[in-house]
Structures are given as structure tokens and as C-alpha cells.
Amino acid sequence: MSKERLAYLLAALFAVLLAGGAYLLLLKQPTTPQTVSKQDLIEHYSYDKSIPLEPTTTLVGEEENYSVYSLSYTSINNERVPALLLIPKEGEKHPAVIAVHGLGGDKTKLMSYMRDLAFHGYMVLSLDLPKHGERASGPIKLEKDASYIFDQGVVDIRRAVDYLESRGDVSSIGLLGRSMGGMISSVVLGVEDRIDAAVLISTGGDVELIFTKGALGQDPKLKKVLESEKRPYTEPLNYIGMYKGAIQFHFGLNDPIFPKESSQKLYDAATCEKEVYWYEAGHGIPEEWVIDRVLSFFDQHLK
């Protein structure tokens, strides 16, 4: 065999092996890329801040130390966001906390936290997330609705910050998110630099882990969430490391929704000032176990 012929055959064989190797590499790649640029992550949740808020408030209750208002304001996609607003009766300016409920909840779900915060001098705004509360239009189907709830919900929370800033009587802003509300709040922290401190309760990161090892993973339809091209924008681990404020975490050691590993990953991904508390509890950590630590944390960072 001539040297030219041998060289040709060796080159052809190398090409086949290279192509096969590339094919194997492709097979090993996830169907949806889980890493996108930091700029893309931030720009995904950008919005037009010039959109008029057009807030409306109606007094709906009076307590000894605070008043309760029904609030609504305009967000992106011309959506009106219904919310509750608790305003302390004493003082000209107040630190404010935005409360974000979990899957299937509504703006009243965290009312025990809201009352305690308002009693201690905090203005509290709690909104209905998309597809929840007054915004519900039927059963939530996470395989179809997850990306929308995040896309709209993150900006709805940022618009709540816009509203609080527009009032003129807010001195600082905190964020309190529980369960899915904690996941969404983690994303907010990565794109919103006006949040001074945050408390995240019974939540976690690593969507794939949550939807495979957690109780939600029993639903095979949720595989669509993992395959979605928008998955990187619903991953708390992609965002929480950008936050520069302070975070307090509260996790249940036996949480069936968020496996301990997913909660630990969320805590580890945060690079800011942080503290974590673990409880011998499931998904529903009793509020009375948590509230004193929450108040002390917010007093330190918001007052």
C-alpha cells in the first residue's frame, strides 16, 4: 500500500472517530442548556420602568397598631396586581417588607408573618402571584405555567418595589419569600438591587433535584419544566449569587418538597452576608419558631 493511500485511510479513520466522539459528547449534553451569560439572566427580567403604576388603595381593616389596605397596581403585560398593604399607624417613614407566598397560596397566606411585622413597625406588601388568588383562572399546571409564573411574578415584585419607592414614606425594603415564593424571591434578588435584606423560608435551588427527588417529582408531567428553554431563568442557583445584601434562611430537615440537598445548595450559592437555621420540621415550619429570628434580622438590616 502506498504511503499516500495509507495517509488517506488514517485521515478518514481519524475523522470518523472524531465525529463519533463529538456525537457522544452531544449525547451527554442536557437537552436544555443550564448556563447562560450573566447579562442574559439579568436582561430576561428587564422591564419598562416608565409604565404608570396607577395604584389604587382602599381601607379594608383597622388594627390597634396598623391599618390594612387593599392595593392594586399595574405591571408588565398590562396586568393589574392585587395586593394587601399593612401600614403602621405611628411614624412618618417605615421599613417595608414584600411578602411572597408559595404555590397554591395567595396574598393572605403569610398573614401571621405580616401581622407580626406590622405590629413591630414594618409596612408590609403581600401580592397575589400570577395564576394565584384573585388572578387565578383555573387549576395551576406547573408543566405549562411555571415559566409564566416566574416571568411575570419576578417583574410584579419589582413593580412592588417601584410602588413602595413612589410612596415617599418607605425608608428601606426587605423581601420575605416562602416555598415557591422563596424560589421566585431568589431570582428577584439577582436582578433587583433595591432589596436591602431577605428572608427565605422552606425553599431551595436546583430545579432538577427538586423535580426528581422531591415530592413534586412524582408528577411525570413536570419533566416538561426541566426540558423548557426557559429553565435557566427559573433556576434560583443562577441568580442568588448575584445578590449583595443579607439573607436569612430557614429550612426544614425533613421537607418533602425541597430535599435538604436542594436547600443546602441554595444557601451555598449565596455569596453575600448570610445565616441559616435548620429545624426538625417538614415543609411547614411553624411561624412561632421563626418569627423572633426574622424580626431580629430585619431590625438589624432594615431599621
On the question of pLDDT at 185 being above 80, the answer is yes
DSSP string for 214-251: SGGGG-GGGHHHHH-TTGGGG-GGGTGGG--SEEEEEE
How far, in whole angstroms, is CA 3 from its chain's centroid? 64
DSSP string for 49-78: TTS----EEEEEEE-SSEEEEEEEEE-GGG
Cα angle for residues 185, 188, 193 (degrees, 5° grid): 130
**Mean pLDDT of all residues in 226-245:** 93
Question: Which residue in 203, 271, 276 sits closest to 241, CA to CA?
Answer: 271
The CA distance from 25 to 28, in Å, is 5
Same domain for 131 and 274, yes or no, is yes
- Which residues make beta-bridge pairs with 175? 98, 198
Same domain for 92 and 223, yes or no, is yes
Same domain for 63 and 82, yes or no, is yes
- Which residues make beta-bridge pairs with 58? 70
Residue 42: domain span: 36-302
Same domain for 15 and 94, yes or no, is no
What total of structural domains would you count in the chain? 2
Strand arrangement of the beta sheet that strand 94-100 belongs to:
56-62, 66-74, 80-88, 123-127, 94-100, 170-178, 197-201, 246-252, 273-279
Same domain for 223 and 143, yes or no, is yes
Same domain for 24 and 47, yes or no, is no
Angle between helices 142-167 and 180-191 (to 10 degrees): 50
**Mean pLDDT of all residues in 261-269:** 98
For the entire predicted model, the pTM comes to: 0.88
Same domain for 42 and 191, yes or no, is yes
What average pLDDT is seen over the chain? 89
Assign residue 257 the CATH number of its domain.
3.40.50.1820
Position 34 scores a pLDDT of 55
Same domain for 153 and 256, yes or no, is yes
How far, in whole angstroms, is CA 179 from its chain's centroid? 9
Give the rounded percent of residues in the chain with a pLDDT score beyond 90.
Answer: 80
Residue pair 25/17 in contact (Cβ under 8 Å)? The answer is no
Burial of 75 (0-12, 13-18, 19+ CB in 10 A): buried
The three-state secondary structure class of 145 is helix
The CA distance from 89 to 66, in Å, is 5
Position 216 scores a pLDDT of 80
186 to 12, 86, 114, 287, 289: CA distances (angstroms):
51, 23, 20, 20, 22
Q: Which of 7-16, 28-37, 126-135 has the lowest mean pLDDT?
A: 7-16
Residue pair 159/75 in contact (Cβ under 8 Å)? The answer is yes
Same domain for 69 and 195, yes or no, is yes
**Mean pLDDT of all residues in 288-293:** 98
Burial of 258 (0-12, 13-18, 19+ CB in 10 A): buried
Same domain for 10 and 64, yes or no, is no
C-alpha cell, 117: 411585622
Burial of 70 (0-12, 13-18, 19+ CB in 10 A): middle
Same domain for 159 and 257, yes or no, is yes
**Mean pLDDT of all residues in 240-269:** 98
**Mean pLDDT of all residues in 111-129:** 98
C-alpha cell, 302: 432594615
Same domain for 174 and 126, yes or no, is yes
